[in-house]
Amino acid sequence: MSDISRALSRGADKSDLEYDCQRPPPPYTAFPDAPSSSSSPPPPPRLHILPLPTTSIGRYCDAASGSFVEKDSLYSEMSHIHELFWETSLHASIDLSRPFSEVQFFAPPAVQWMADPATIPASNSLRVKCLSLPWAIEIEDTLGGAITCADLIHALITNLEREVTPQEWASSPQRARERVVQHLKRRHSRITKPNEEIRPVRWIDYLGERTKLKRIAASQSREFELYLYTSF
């Protein structure tokens, strides 16, 4: 049994958490229906691109306030996010801790939007930041094509399933490591089968229970940089 498992089983206090947070990322017990860490992720979807109009008239989701504002020619040189991501929960249920195949759509337009470019103008390279993640997610289409809405969702799911390396764990802020340990404690308390699969800490664990895609906003200061917002 690892140090973190012993701490969790006996009800670790604050000093235990601080001690464990200094160690490399500990393994933990996954949910019974969690995908095996040995299985390969599904290949990214290669979909036909349906270009969106590149007019300078419309709305965008402001990254700072999260609200919809009108854009004009002052923003014509900056990238903007597809309307699917203005308020994703209105169109689909996307749990970033689950496979891409489990995405649920609420209306036909959302399905059709999957083939649209994720940004206007379209790009083959995007950078996604999230306040809960110590690192940015770099997304690139190796074939040079435009990143679609489906590509963006799939890339987020795939990257968040990555294992946290000892170097990444050590470089994470202390507060972020403590949040991960608290999250692992809550998951440990729900374990009912003693022999369930053990897997290492993953990027998704930094989101805690907030794994649902809520919205994505485009930065208004850096082109093709996005901000990810999640919810319970």
The string of pLDDT tens digits covering residues 22-63 is 555 555 433 334 344 444 444 544 433 333 333 333 444 455
**Is the predicted pLDDT of residue 179 greater than 80, yes or no?**
yes
Say whether 196 sits in a helix, a strand or coil: coil
Quickly list DSSP for 176-187: HHHHHHHHHHHH
For the chain, the structural domain boundaries read 3-30+163-201, 58-162+210-231
Give the span between the Cα atoms of 91 and 108, in whole angstroms.
9
Question: Among the listed ranges 67-76, 186-195, 223-232, which one has the minimum average pLDDT value?
Answer: 67-76
DSSP state of 167: H
**Is the predicted pLDDT of residue 204 greater than 90, yes or no?**
yes
* The predicted structure's pLDDT at residue 79: 78
Give the span between the Cα atoms of 23 and 11, in whole angstroms.
18
Give the span between the Cα atoms of 216 and 82, in whole angstroms.
9
**Is the predicted pLDDT of residue 12 greater than 90, yes or no?**
no
If one compares 150 and 58, the residue with the highest pLDDT of the two is 150
Give the span between the Cα atoms of 17 and 102, in whole angstroms.
34
The string of pLDDT tens digits covering residues 82-127 is 999 999 999 999 999 999 999 999 988 999 999 999 999 999 999 9
Under 8 Å between Cβ of 209 and 183 = yes
Q: How far is CA 130 from CA 8, 63, 154, in A?
A: 28, 11, 16
3-state secondary structure 18-68: HHHHCCCCCCEECCCCCCCCCCCCCCCCCCCCCCCCCCCCEEEEECCCCCE
